[in-house]
Amino acid sequence: MTGLAAPAAFDFARLGPGFADPVGDAQRCFRAILDAMAHPGAVVTMPGDLPCAPGLSPAATAVALALCDIDTPVWLDAAAAGAAPYLAFHCGAPVAAAPAEARFAFVADAAMLPPLGQFALGTAEFPERSATLVIEVGGLTEGTGPTLRGPGIRGGRRLSVAGLRRRFWEERAALAELFPRGIDLLFVGGAALAAVPRSTQVVE
Amino acid sequence: MKSLEQQANGTQARQSWLAVLAKAPVAALEAGWQALGDKPDYRTLRPGETGLVMVRGRIGGTGQPFNLGEMTMTRAAVQLLDRDGKVTWTGFGHVAGRSARRAELVALFDALLQDPARHDAIERTVVAPLAAQQEAAKAAQAGKVNASRVDFFTMVRGE
């Protein structure tokens, strides 16, 4: 048997820690995400001292740690692929082979985002079987950019998202007629997070 | 790169020290840790978390596997750090019951035992005494059981 190379064991030294206080931190982050989803377009700061998975921002890591588990296949774009062992260890989440199979998609390079129609949009009977996209963006600014209207917004709210590709909002608007099917968007940058759920209309 | 045989031996050695550590009481592990001269820096990769595992059984070792029942267990993972704060060894602890500190101590000793520079000292001062204790307890129990053993046999009727 000597001379036969053994399969390389996983190098655990490269793994970083998860939440310092797994229960408390996950609850605080869940609450922050809930607030963001209830107030589309409002920029919230994820609370606490957040860990950081390779290839992902602290806010995206917090979303993964708070929401992903063995029942939620995740899809990672090429720029976020380094986070796969981290998510496997701390969340137990399986990695989806294709965007359509994923419940959560982590996109570290917003410019290379696949067409939105490639993600799971849910079915008429089960609209919740859809994907939540967590997209790393250059910056989130309230008060400028496109106007958001819909549930959770009194009048209108403006949110500027830096680093999205051209015609992104047009592409998203095309999904509106499928409602209640659709996808929910979480934009993250650093520790900041803003949500644009499927119920929100975005007018440029 | 290690050969398969070397890796199998390494795995076997690790299994045996983890088996001893996982069964050791928390007081003994704590005493071993306190007695350690130069404690390493470490960070917690996974704080102790308690959950349930399904224990599976097989009648006589040949029957169909079945679910015997769930038991409570706690797991933890730690990473030892060198002087520059770089991760050197990662240790894992899985223990029966709900003691997070016990799982953490098992993980710490697991990491220390993987370090060739510290392996022999830890093996001699911590693992070997615990293994001897566990062996003695097992022998004492077996002796008690043996003393009350009843052999069943059927007399052949002489007809």
Residues in chain B closer than 8 A to A13 (CB atoms): 79, 87-90
Is the Cβ of B17 closer than 8 Å to some Cβ of chain A? no
In the predicted structure, residue A194 carries a pLDDT above the cut 60: yes
Pairing of strands A132-136, A157-162: unpaired
pLDDT the model gives residue A199: 94
Q: In chain A, which residues touch B (CB < 8 A)?
A: 1-6, 8-9, 12-18, 20-22, 89-90
What mean pLDDT is predicted for residues A145-163? 95
For residue A188, the one-letter residue type is V
In chain B, residues with a C-beta closer than 8 Å to the C-beta of A4 are 3-4
Quick check: ipTM above 0.90?
no
Query: Measured between alpha carbons, how far is A64 from A75 in angstroms, rounded to an integer?
Result: 11
Which residue among B4, B77, B88 sits closest to A6, beta carbon to beta carbon? B4
Task: For chain A, say whether B6 makes contact (Cβ under 8 Å).
Answer: yes
Three-state secondary structure call for residue A63: helix
Shortest Cα–Cα distance, A2 to chain B (Å)? 6
Confidence of residue B124 (pLDDT cuts 50, 70, 90): very high
Q: Distance between CA B92 and CA B77 in Å, rounded?
A: 4
pLDDT of the residue at A157:
96
**pLDDT of B72-122, one tens digit each?**
999 999 999 999 989 999 999 999 999 999 999 999 999 999 999 999 999
Q: Which of B107, B41, B90 is CA-nearest to residue A15? A: B90
Instruction: List the beta bridge partners of residue B81.
Output: B41, B87
Torsion of Cα atoms, A87 then A93 then A96 then A102, to 10°:
-110
Give tens-digit pLDDT for A29-52: 999 999 999 999 999 999 989 999
Nearest CA of chain B to the CA of A71: how many Å? Answer: 17
For the cut 50, the answer to whether the pLDDT of residue A139 exceeds it is yes
Contact (CB<8Å) A22/B87: no
Reported as a pLDDT band with limits 50, 70 and 90, residue B159 is low
Give the Cα separation of B34 and A76 in Å (integer): 44
Residue B37 has what pLDDT? 84
Question: Phi and psi (nearest 5°) for A192?
Answer: -95, 150
Q: CB–CB of A140/A195 below 8 Å? A: no
**Residue B43 and residue A9: Cβ atoms within 8 Å?**
no
Over the stretch B13-57, which tens digit does the pLDDT of each residue have? 999 999 999 999 999 999 999 999 889 999 999 999 999 999 999
> According to the model, what pLDDT value does residue A11 have?
83
Q: 10 Å Cβ neighbour count for B9? A: 12
A40 contacts: CB under 8 Å, gap ≥ 6: A148, A150, A151, A152, A153, A157, A194, A195, A196, A197, A199, A200
Sheet with A201-203, side-by-side order of all strands = A157-162, A139-149, A201-203
Q: What is the mean pLDDT of residues A185-200?
A: 96
